[in-house]
Structure formats: structure tokens, C-alpha cells
Amino acid sequence: MRILLVWPRNPRAVLSDALSCCEPLPLEYLAGALRGHHDVTIHDLRLDPPLAEYAATAEPPDLVGVAVPYTTNVTVAREVTREVKRLWPQVPVVIGGHHPTVSTEWLDGFAADYVVAGEGAEPLRRLIAAVEAGRPVEPVIGLAPYQARAALRRVTKPAPATLNELPAPDRTLLARHRGSYFHSIYRPVALARFSAGCPYRCHFCSLWRMTDRRYLVKEAERVVGELQQIDQANVYVVDDEAFIQPERMGELADAIEAAGLRKRYHMYVRTDTALRRPDVITRWAEVGLDSVLIGAESTADDELTGYQKGTTARQTRQALRLFRELGVKVRANFIVRPSWGEEDFDRLARTVDELAVDMPSFSVLTPLPGTDLYDEVRQELISDDPELFDCYHTLFPTRLAPARFYQRLADVLLGASARAGGSGGDPAVFYFSTDDAFGRMVQTVRNGHLGFPDPADPVTAAV
Ligand code: B12
Ligand code: SF4
């Protein structure tokens, strides 16, 4: 069958495609699972022409999959499904991705026939087999007809071997865009996944709940095999926490070196994990670890305790020192609380300066669906617009007047860019742009209290 997989574009995203535009790894995983059995096309609306233009020349598909990667992209993904149905009214449409995996909210109004939750490979194979055979699709774990979406269930405790059993992502389908995918200074960049899940249980995070705190790993041989297929020198490792198993990571570094691979890696790591085994981080610095993202979250221990983070401000300082000594650039993310007053913003700016964080980044405390925080506060949120779940808007009332809150947020962002420099002399990893994209982002944040343009507006330019 001809399968068309579509990745949406969100023209209103605050972290715009001009600041980060990465390959749609989830769709490449799905394509990998269908390889050799079906004729798959991935259409990336951030780089490919609108679907109507594609439809004018391409053979009609037999099934279309539309990704809903973030809550903030629900609105644009919904528009994409409607456009797909307009172009190919008889073709079944399935949606899947992080948002439908963690939430059944905001899924109304899609022009879809099926919904997938969790790892999509198996449900998609099952769906295609049923469509091909003309059989009705019964709800099973991970797959439901769209009308039965409220009852959609997913695998909550994936088997430890899950990642090894998944076929490797098919990176050939987007060869035309290889040179265009980037993440900040990493241009071009490839995405890779070595593990999934996290054993910790931060209050604001959905990732540990997705695997019920299980840590799923890919064996070293498979990782090396995948890296050998990647031509790009920069690899953004999308693991939720890459260094949970230090022995394994040490062995992986050895295997990477033995294979003669020389790449620059960007990875997520907790401060306490790094401090527990500085030798492993040192080893990774030797084989190419170029930057890490740490969730510093706060420099106030009582706030860290409230987040159930399990780390301390002292560990943040120590970890920053370790990475600096190794020449590994650090992006440290700090949570901005809607309840903050002027003095809290002052403290944040002072701390970021004192710590000499190479690349600070800031997230407004956001109750993302699938988190403990969300479950606790769902009824109290000040907006029901999914586009605001982007970590740059507040969904809680602010202590400061809203305009002032966003002004202070925009100012800490600007302060961050003024610090750009990094240990290695590179510009800031996260907010770096080659044009005025960062300036536009700051301006959008400054206007945060005005909201987005009406989400009901047709965003046909995006589909
Ligand atoms: C890499 C990444 C990014 C990258 C790039 C992603 C890209 N390719 O373009 C960048 C830096 C741009 C980014 C940005 C943002 N991100 Co981000 N990102 C990630 C991260 C770390 C990895 C995503 C990934 O590749 N996963 C690996 C793939 C293989 O797994 P998967 O997504 O689960 O896919 C499987 C299934 O979902 C399913 N599936 C997926 N799509 C489809 C489609 C169909 C049709 C079907 C059937 C199945 C299916 O099958 C897939 C394969 O098995 C995730 C965390 C995570 N663990 O997922 C956060 C994550 C997705 N991001 C998140 C957020 C909040 C954001 C931002 C909104 C905020 C921010 N300040 O960063 C922005 C939004 C940007 C925008 N333009 O709108 C949240 C989303 C939470 C939510 N409910 O919305 C996550 C979960 C992290 C978190 N903190 O919780 N992100
Ligand atoms: S924020 Fe990081 S450490 Fe905390 S549960 Fe999520 S992935 Fe794990």
C-alpha cells in the first residue's frame, strides 16, 4: 500500500522552525517498521510544499498518518487532517504522536478515522493489515477507531527489550532534506535515540509515566550500526536521560571509538547522574560529547523539592564545574513560576550570571498533559487553548500583571543571549539563529499576554 506520513508545521510556534528544525524521527521509525512491505512517503510540511501541491502530481495514498507531536501542535495537526480529507476523501487517516499518547483531550474535530497511542510501529502495521484486508478495526491497546478515542489505551509498561525489537528508523526517505535539518548551532544535525524512559518522577514531567519509570535501552551494537548510517557530524540524542546506566554508557563510548566514529553529540543528563560518574562523562567528552542539556530548574532547594526533582542547587553548581573543566557546553534550563514577583526574576537573572551558565534557557511552569502536575491543576487553568502549552506562556494566574510577567520573561531571554559564548567559544546552543529568529521569539514572548491569533482562523498556509 502507499502510505503517506505527514509532519505538521506550526507557523505560530514561539520556538520557531528558524531556531530548530529537526528530522521527524518518530515518522522515520514508523517508516522503518513498514520498510520492504509498503511504499512510504514522509511529507514534512516545514520544508515540503503544501499538500494540495503535492496531491497535484503524486499518486493518491491508500492511508495517511498525521503526527501530533506536541500538545501545542494539536490545532495545526487538526487542520492537516481536514486538508487530507478534502484532497483524498476516501482515504483513511490515522493520527498518532506524543500528544494522543498522553492525552485524549483536544482530539475532537480531527478529520481522522483512527488514533494510535504509544510506539506506533505495531499498531500501524495492524491497522494497515486490516485496511488492506477490508476488515473492521477493533480497539486494541495502542489503536482505536477515531470514534472510540476516549477509550484509547496504550502500553503502560513496555517490555525492557522494546527498543531492540523496534526496526531502525528509515533515514533514506528524507534524504532530500538532510542538509536542512538543524538544531541551533548543530547544522546539519541528525536525531538518534539510544534509550527511552526515566526512573525519576519529576512532578512536571510526563516522560517517566510513559514507561512507568522503566528505562529501555538499545544495545551498543545497534546504536553503533545506526550511527554508521548517519552522515551528519552532529547528533542530537533525544533520550530522556542518556546516562542512567553508566556502565553501559562507558561500553557504548568504547564501541563508538572502536568503530572509528567521530561525531559531536548533544545529550540530556541529570546533574546527579553526571556527578555520580564523572569518569563516564569524561569518557564521553573524549568520544565527542559536545553539549548537554541539564534541568537545573531552580537554584532554590525548596522549589526543587516541590518539583520532586531529587537534585540540589549545590549539585547544579558542581555539575557546571565538571562540564566546564571538560569543555562540554551546558544548556541549563530554569523554570519560571507564574507566582513569581519582581524579586524572583531578579534572583534568576543574578543566579544565571553568578553561575556563568553558558546557555541558560527558560520554561514557564507548564502543566503538560500526562504529568502529575496536570492532573492536580487541570480545573484551575486560565486557558483551554492547547497552543499555550508551549512552555513560553502561563496557564496559571500570574502574581505580576500579565504584561509585566511577559516583559520580565522576555528580558531574561535577552539576558541569556547576551551571555552567548559557551565554553568552546561557540554561540549559545539553544537560542542561536543565523538571522533575527531569536529577536522575533523574544518579541512574541514579550507580547505573550496578548495571546495568539484566533486558533479558529484557517491556517491553510500551514497545510
Ligand atoms: C527532540 C525533541 C524536540 C526537538 C525537535 C523535534 C522534531 N523532530 O522536530 C525540538 C527542540 C524542536 C523540540 C521542541 C519542542 N518541544 Co520537544 N521534544 C523532543 C524530544 C526530546 C524527543 C522527540 C523524539 O524524537 N522522540 C523519539 C520518537 C521516536 O518517539 P515518539 O515521539 O514517542 O514517537 C513514537 C510514537 O509517539 C508514535 N508516533 C509518533 N508520531 C506518529 C504519527 C502517526 C501517524 C502514528 C500512527 C504514530 C506516531 O510512533 C513513534 C515511533 O514509535 C521529546 C521527548 C520524548 N521523549 O519524546 C520532547 C517533547 C516532545 N517536546 C516537548 C515540548 C513541550 C516541546 C516544545 C513545545 C517546547 C519547548 N520549549 O521546547 C517545543 C515545540 C516546538 C514547535 N515548533 O512546536 C514535550 C511535549 C509535551 C506535550 N504534551 O506537548 C516533550 C514530550 C518533552 C517533555 N518535556 O515532556 N522538541
Ligand atoms: S524531568 Fe528529566 S529527570 Fe525528571 S522525570 Fe523527566 S526525564 Fe526524568
Domains of the chain: 2-151 (3.40.50.280), 162-461 (3.80.30.20)
Q: What is the pLDDT of residue 328?
A: 95
- Distance from residue 265's CA to the centre of ligand 1 (Å): 18
Angle at alpha carbon of residue 430, lines to 47 and 188, rounded to 5°: 45
Q: What is the pLDDT of residue 423?
A: 44
Q: What is the pLDDT of residue 212?
A: 95
Task: Please tell me the residue having the least CA distance from ligand 1 atom 13.
Answer: 20
Q: Ligand 1 pocket: which of 105, 238, 291 to mutate (most atoms <8 Å of CB)?
A: 238
Ligand nearest the Cα atom of residue 242 = 2
Ligand nearest the Cα atom of residue 204 = 2
Q: Ligand 2 pocket: which of 98, 102, 237, 240 to mutate (most atoms <8 Å of CB)?
A: 240
Dig out the grid coordinates for 233 from the structure: 557530524
d(CA 260, CA 257): 5
- Distance from residue 68's CA to the centre of ligand 1 (Å): 9
d(CA 63, CA 54): 15
Q: What is the pLDDT of residue 432?
A: 80
Q: What is the pLDDT of residue 182?
A: 96
Q: What is the pLDDT of residue 193?
A: 98
Q: Which residues line ligand 2 (CB under 6 A)?
A: 198, 200-202, 205, 207-208, 240-241, 270, 295
- Distance from residue 14's CA to the centre of ligand 1 (Å): 15
- 189: three-class secondary structure by DSSP: strand
- Distance from residue 259's CA to the centre of ligand 1 (Å): 30
14 lines ligand 1 (CB under 6 A): no
d(CA 169, CA 341): 46
- The CB-side HSE value for 214 (13 A sphere, CA atoms) comes to 14
Atom of ligand 2 nearest to the CA of 201: 5
Ligand nearest the Cα atom of residue 143 = 1
- 65: three-class secondary structure by DSSP: strand
Q: What is the pLDDT of residue 463?
A: 43
394-398 long-range CB contacts below 8 Å, 24 or more apart?
394/338, 394/364, 394/365, 394/448, 395/338, 395/366, 395/367, 396/338, 396/339, 396/365, 397/338, 398/338, 398/339, 398/340
- Distance from residue 71's CA to the centre of ligand 1 (Å): 10
- Distance from residue 295's CA to the centre of ligand 1 (Å): 17
pLDDT under 50: residue ranges of the chain: 421-424, 455, 457-463
Q: What is the pLDDT of residue 461?
A: 39
- Distance from residue 134's CA to the centre of ligand 1 (Å): 32
